[in-house]
Structure 1
Amino acid sequence: MTTKVVIQQPGPIMESRDSDEWHSGICDCCEDMGQCCCVFWCCPCFACKTTRDYGQCLCLPLLDIFGGCISPVTFAMRVSMRERYGIKDTMCRDCVCATFCSPCSWCQMATEMKKRAIPITLISSRPRP
């Protein structure tokens, strides 16, 4: 008699169950005026900073220059963020936002990252005297 042993290693899960909706609308970029001004005056810089804060390559948004009509990196970031945070929306809406409202889309993604930030708690392993 043979038995099969299946071992699954736990993988890292970055999941947040705050809400299944965006915390801000696509046109709510003026709620944070500093962020809004940064996007208005230098959207590529803001997009690069947001991408780095998200854990991706700093220069990734600069590839949108070669995307033509659709901003592929902005679109991919929106889809990735929706998947990571469990936000219900459609790829069609992501495509429309990335194509026609790219600066507002970056503002919305940056706001979402701020709202869903997970605080880090450092715990000392040494006992206190």
Structure 2
Amino acid sequence: MENINISIDQANAGRPWNESLFGCFSDIKTCCYGFWCLPCLFGDNVEKIDGSSCVGCCLAYWASSTCFLCWIPHMMKRKVLRQKYLLEEEPCHDCLVTACCGPCAVCQAARELKSRSGAQRRPNVFPVRAQPVAYRK
């Protein structure tokens, strides 16, 4: 019975993220995208996370950022991302991550989605080319 309790506790602990919160420079393209148009990157992320409107979420992020509240929609979508991949809250609660390190968290989510979509692709399958064969009657 004790083994079952341990496995349930381990399952509730969550999986580690593939990407670090402060690993922006591991993917310069995503880092630049987030630096120059953070609401657009947020919209792209949300569309990949749960199919929400990219443009709608981009505009919501931008509008809420005018009064320093962009962390609210970000926090909600980060929670959905974590639930989708059973990720742990790290390095701290989503509220603190999105409010204090919002740009880094948006870039982290983009890199995480990219790494996880790459893991779901088929393994390397190379096309087989065959020489044409002449048929005789």
TM-score (norm 2): 0.65
Equivalent residue, structure 2, for 1:29: 24
Q: Distance in 1 between matches of 2:87 and 2:94?
A: 12
Report the CA distance between 1:105 and its aligned residue.
0.6
Structure 2 residues not aligned, in runs of 5+: 1-13, 124-137
Q: Distance in 2 between matches of 1:80 and 1:36?
A: 22
Structure 2 residue identity aligned to 1:119: R
Equivalent residue, structure 1, for 2:133: none
Structure 1 residues not aligned, in runs of 5+: 1-18, 122-129
Equivalent residue, structure 2, for 1:50: 45
Decide which structure has the larger Cα Rg and report it: 2
In the alignment of these two chains, the number of paired residues is 102
Structure with the larger helix share: 2
Backbone CA RMSD of aligned residues:
2.3
TM-score (norm 1): 0.68
Is the contact between residue 29 and residue 104 of structure 1 (CA under 8 Å) also seen in structure 2? yes
Which stretch shifts more, 104-113 or 49-58? 49-58
Identity rate, percent: 26
Equivalent residue, structure 2, for 1:114: 114
Report the CA distance between 1:115 and its aligned residue.
1.5
Is the contact between residue 48 and residue 60 of structure 1 (CA under 8 Å) also seen in structure 2? yes
Q: Distance in 2 between matches of 1:62 and 1:103?
A: 16
Q: Distance in 1 between matches of 2:68 and 2:40?
A: 20
Equivalent residue, structure 2, for 1:62: 59
